[in-house]
Structure 1
Amino acid sequence: MELTVYLAGQIHDDWRKKLKDKASQKNLPITFVGPMENHDRSDNIGEEILGKQPNAIIKDDVASQFNNLRTRVLMQKADVVIALFGESYKQWNSALDAGNAISLNKPLILVRPEELHHPLKEISERAQVTVTDVDQALEALAYIFATE
């Protein structure tokens, strides 16, 4: 059995790479997918596909359409979603992705520091598992494959 795991959340650090590396070290049969990690490409994809847009608002709108398409397709194909809420960045995408996972009936592993317990309590109640760090999320995935 192999799992496809969608890694939702902020794209401003290397938490995805660290998680992928650790999963590889454990020889877990997991394929990871997620949002475009090249922030500039994510911001410019609308113009890359449709051409120059008349202003910044429309540029953002068309980029969002293509990023939402990517998210929807990859999340629908995922077996599990991990949504990371960190302390350093605004978490709008994480909240949206967690909500999408819930609405698609995808098992959700919510990663959030204890300081964010209160503002994320409703999402946490809908998640299958809530953990405080990425290593715990990886152990939750590893447990799926445990035989004893």
Structure 2
Amino acid sequence: MELTVYLAGEIHSNWRDDIRQKAEAKQLPLLFTGPMEQHDRSDHIGEEILGPQADAIAKDEAASQINNLRTQVLLSKADVVIAYFGPKYKQWNTAMDAASAMTLGKPVILIRERDNHHALKELANKAQLVVENADQAIEALAYIFE
């Protein structure tokens, strides 16, 4: 059995690489998907596909539509979602992806530091599991295969 894991969260740090490496070290049969990790590609995809836009807002809207399409397709195919809330960046996309996954009935593992408990309490209450780090998330996934 192989599980598809959607990695929802900011694209500015290497947290996804950490998850992938930990899963590989445990030889877990996981296929990882997630948002476009090339920030420039994500920002410019609207104009790449739809052509030049009238202004920066229209450019963002075009990119958002295409990125949302990609996200919905990949979330719908995921067996489980890991939603990472890091300490530094605004996490709107992570919250949206986690909420979308929950709406689709996908199990969500929420990674958040203890300091973020209050800000994420409602989302955490709906997640299947809340952990504080990548090691705990990988251990939970490994348990599925025992």
Normalised-by-shorter TM-score class: over 0.9
* RMSD of aligned alpha carbons: 0.6
Matches within 5 A, 1:1-148: 1-146=1-146
C-alpha deviation, 1:141, in angstroms: 0.6
Q: Deviations over 1:34-89 (max 9, x none)?
A: 00000000000001111111100000000000000000000000000000001100
Residue type of the alignment partner of 1:56: A
Q: Deviations over 1:79-130 (max 9, x none)?
A: 0000000110000001101100110110000000000101111111100000
2: distance between equivalents of 1:47 and 1:82?
A: 30
Q: Report the 3-state secondary structure (helix = DSSP H, G, I; strand = E; otherwise coil) of the residue aligned with 2:73.
A: helix
Q: Percent identity?
A: 63
Q: TM-score, with normalisation over the residues of structure 1?
A: 0.97
Q: Report the 3-state secondary structure (helix = DSSP H, G, I; strand = E; otherwise coil) of the residue aligned with 2:119.
A: coil
Residue type of the alignment partner of 1:117: H
Q: Report the 3-state secondary structure (helix = DSSP H, G, I; strand = E; otherwise coil) of the residue aligned with 2:4.
A: strand
1: distance between equivalents of 2:53 and 2:64?
A: 13
State the aligned residue count.
Answer: 146
C-alpha deviation, 1:26, in angstroms: 0.9
Residue type of the alignment partner of 1:26: K
2: distance between equivalents of 1:111 and 1:76?
A: 20
Residue type of the alignment partner of 1:134: A
Unaligned runs of at least 5 residues, structure 2: none
